[in-house]
Amino acid sequence: MNLEEFFKENSRVALGFSGGVDSSYLLYAALKYGANVHAYYIKTCFQPQFEYDDAMRMAKLLGANVTVLNLDALADENVVKNPKNRCYYCKISLFTALKKAALADGFTVLLDGTNASDDADDRPGMKALQELKVLSPLRECGLTKSKIRELSKAAGLFTWDKPAYACLATRIPTNTPLDAETLLKVERSEQALMDMGFSDFRVRVFNKAARIQLLPEQLINAAERATEIRHALEPYFDVILFDTMCR
């Protein structure tokens, strides 16, 4: 099956839309193949402002209908406890709310942007989506992340080379309780680094310190600008550490 065939079979769909590479291309394809698609963006303390801005920009460029759902990701104590399978509880909570909103709008088929490169064995969130009967067309059609980037570039989507971005909760060590204040510190620290020109990195919390993980090719630049970086992150973290991030 390809996406054109998928959307012929599923011509009225709701899409869990993040504004990332995968869901942006899926939204584009749904519109291209004539589906009646409505995008739903879930806004929580786990998503930084730039992700929201990208999603709204993409929806506007594509002329897509989009609804923003403001939800409290920390309302579920299982999420707050931050266990290894936190993503399962989070997806269940957020996509249940999304599904309810979609049903109220008359949409019974719900999609997400999981692709064929995502490893189901290591993604508790995918288990939640399966339980909620959320369809993943990119995965079903065998589209890998690299192929989606290629197709997105050909389609002129600005997201084609957007770095992968996991939610802010992944910056906190497993079994360390989540709180809105720490998540906000991480978001503002990462935004400060982006404003300095860094990309494809993570600011992780390590014993209350900011552990900045960068690709090897960016470490030299970071070392040369260490004082500047420490000054930028000073309002949020007292201790700044540097580390290498694997691709």
Domain stops at, among 161, 188, 204: 161
Q: What confidence tens digit (pLDDT) does each residue in 192-237 have?
A: 999 999 988 999 999 889 999 998 888 888 989 999 999 999 999 9
What is the per-residue pLDDT for 188?
97
Q: Are residues 69 and 155 in the same domain?
A: yes
Q: Which tokens is 139 given?
A: 């995965």
Local confidence pLDDT in tens for the 247 residues of the chain = 899 999 999 999 999 999 999 999 999 999 999 999 999 999 999 999 999 999 999 999 999 999 999 999 999 999 999 999 999 999 999 999 999 999 999 999 999 999 998 765 557 888 889 999 999 999 999 999 999 999 999 999 999 999 888 899 999 999 999 999 999 999 999 999 999 999 889 999 998 899 999 988 888 889 899 999 999 999 999 999 998 876 5
Q: Are residues 101 and 219 in the same domain?
A: no
Is residue 169 a part of any domain in this protein?
A: no
Q: Are residues 150 and 186 in the same domain?
A: no
Q: Are residues 157 and 185 in the same domain?
A: no
User: What contacts 24+ positions apart, CB below 8 Å, involve 159-164?
Assistant: 159/19, 159/20, 159/21, 159/24, 159/25, 159/54, 159/58, 160/21, 162/20, 162/21, 162/54, 163/199, 163/200, 164/20, 164/21, 164/200
Q: What is the mean pLDDT of the chain?
A: 93
Residue with tokens 């992944």: 170
Domain that holds residue 97: 3-161
Residue 77: which residues within 8 A CB-CB, separation 6 or more? Answer: none
What is the per-residue pLDDT for 121?
54
Q: Are residues 20 and 108 in the same domain?
A: yes
Q: Are residues 21 and 115 in the same domain?
A: yes
What is the per-residue pLDDT for 247?
53
